[in-house]
Structure 1
Amino acid sequence: MLVSKKAQGHLIALFTIFIWGTTYISTKVLLAEFKPIEILFFRFMLGYFTLWILAPHFLSWQGIRKELLFMAAGFCGVTCYFLCENIALTYTTASNVGVIASLAPVFTAILAMFFLKAETPSLRFYIGCLLAVFGVVLISFNGKFVLSLNPLGDFLAVVACLFWAGYSILTKKSSSFDCNIILLTRRFFFYGLILMLPALYLFNFEWGLVRFYKPVNMLNILFLGVGASAICFVSWNYAVKLVGAVKISIYIYLVPIITIISAVIILKEPFNLIAAVGTLLTLSGVVLSQGKRSKKQ
């Protein structure tokens, strides 16, 4: 029995989120010797060249209007999202960022109402979102209900969510152009890396390639660059093309679940009843939100 394109999209999204959910482990290991901006630059530079290997073909100039759209996607999804999130983590707690990041699907749905007229989410979608947000709150705090307000860090985390929502909308619009998805993603990476250059100066970027002589550093940056960046950005963009930005964005709620499971298995971190309830609520919210859309277009 053949799987429908939408079903393929959901399966691809699940695969992508599984990989993204484990990136926390690799990033945590690399942060012992690398600055956040260095990890960001190296992973996307590696991802960019990986996409050249996967598809060694040039994407011709698509015209100023389309190229500006591609540039905006790279700026939002590569440069600004990760930069804002990484900087936010230096000012606020990981729990705060985790909870705030769960707002990304809601922001995506709101932007879609204005820019993607065909994607009108139903009430069921929003109820599922609220359920999943509550689950993420339980997971992020893991039973420790201490919300430490750090205005700058929390604000940057919200801004990061908005940038990811913008990226989701821009990739959906870009997918309507008749471009190979790998070449298109590579173009996003190119613009993202170019627009990242000023940040390298501002945050005292250092090459220090000798650090990659350590197998643990090399393996983790390969995982982030080849797997989490090159392959997963292509698969995510393809899933958005098949299913839609709003529907696919809901899978972001699964990231903290996968992260916690990975941390328990690899880092031997504790997993208590509160986290288990949060996991169940998040999964329930995701399932509920995947119901039929509102028929209003």
Structure 2
Amino acid sequence: MSRSPALGHLLALAVSVVWGTTYISTKVLLEAFHPVEILIFRFVLAWAILFLCAPRPQLPRSFRSELPFLGAAQQQGLNDLLVTRKVFFWGVLFTLPFCLGTGITFDLTRFAQPLMLGNTVYLGVVASALCFLAWNRASALIGPVATNVYLYLMPVITSVWDSSSP
């Protein structure tokens, strides 16, 4: 794979725009969902999409081999898609205990509303699955320091996007 700085900058900018708009989507979903529900639906959807992209199971060799994924670190020998999928799996697993005692019902009928379904798909597929892969690629192309500079655009993007929404 050739290194293309222009592609790296374009990916980092695109991801920053998407991530900057996730706050508005989350605000819409908070009208009908508990915050933990949003996280779980988002993580499960992202994991499912990533699993469909590479449907071979990646079973752990041992619990010790899974420890780096708990901190979202990468292990050598696995591609970005498999690493990202594992991180989302652990995200779901460690978010589930926060459901205890909250009265969360995971009522799927709320997805009958196109606004709720659309925002959940946007957060799970675009902002989570696709953007984390794109961010990893951008980091590989232009380096983590240059990529992370784009994070500073997110508050501006959020403010502009939110002020233009009804």
**TM-score (ref. length: structure 2):** 0.88
* 1:252–1:37 CA distance, 2 compared to 1 (3 A): same
1:221 and 1:177 map into 2 onto residues whose CA distance is 32
Identity of aligned residues (%): 42
Q: TM-score, normalised by structure 1?
A: 0.51
C-alpha distance in structure 2 between counterparts of 1:56 and 1:46, whole Å: 14
**Structure 1 residue corresponding to 2:98, chosen from 195, 199, 220:** 199
2 CA distance for matches of 1:202 and 1:247?
43
Counterparts of 2:12 and 2:61, CA distance in 1: 27
2:6 is matched with: 7
**Conservation of the 8 A alpha-carbon contact between 1:58 and 1:183:** no
Q: Which residue of 2 aligns with 1:235?
A: 134
Q: Which residue is 1:40 aligned to?
A: 39
Moved more, 22-31 or 64-73: 64-73
SS class of match (2:141): helix
**2:123 maps to what in 1?**
224
Q: Give structure 1 stretches of 5+ with no counterpart.
A: 74-169, 268-297
Amino acid at match of 1:244: G
* 1:177 shift after superposition: 1.2
Gaps of 5+ in 2: none
Could you list the per-position Cα deviations for residues 170-194 of structure 1 after superposition, in whole angstroms to 9, with x for gaps in the alignment? Answer: 3xxx1x6132211110011111111
Q: Per the alignment, do residues 200 and 238 of structure 1 end up closer, same or farther by CA in structure 2, a change over 3 Å counting?
A: farther
Alignment of 1:254-293 (within 5 A): 254-267=153-166
Deviation at residue 9 of structure 1 after TM alignment? 2.1
What SS does the aligned partner of 2:121 have? helix
Conserved in 2, the CA contact under 8 Å of 1:6 and 1:243?
yes
AA matched with 1:72: G
Compute the RMSD of aligned alpha carbons: 2.0
Task: Tell me the residue number matched to 2:22.
Answer: 23
Q: Do 2:80 and 2:133's aligned partners in 1 also have CA atoms closer than 8 Å?
A: yes
Aligned residues: 165
Q: Which has the higher contact order (CA 8 A, sep 6+)?
A: 2
What is the rounded CA distance, in whole Å, between the counterparts of 2:71 and 2:101 in structure 1? 21
For residues 59 and 33 of structure 2, what CA distance do their matches in structure 1 show?
35
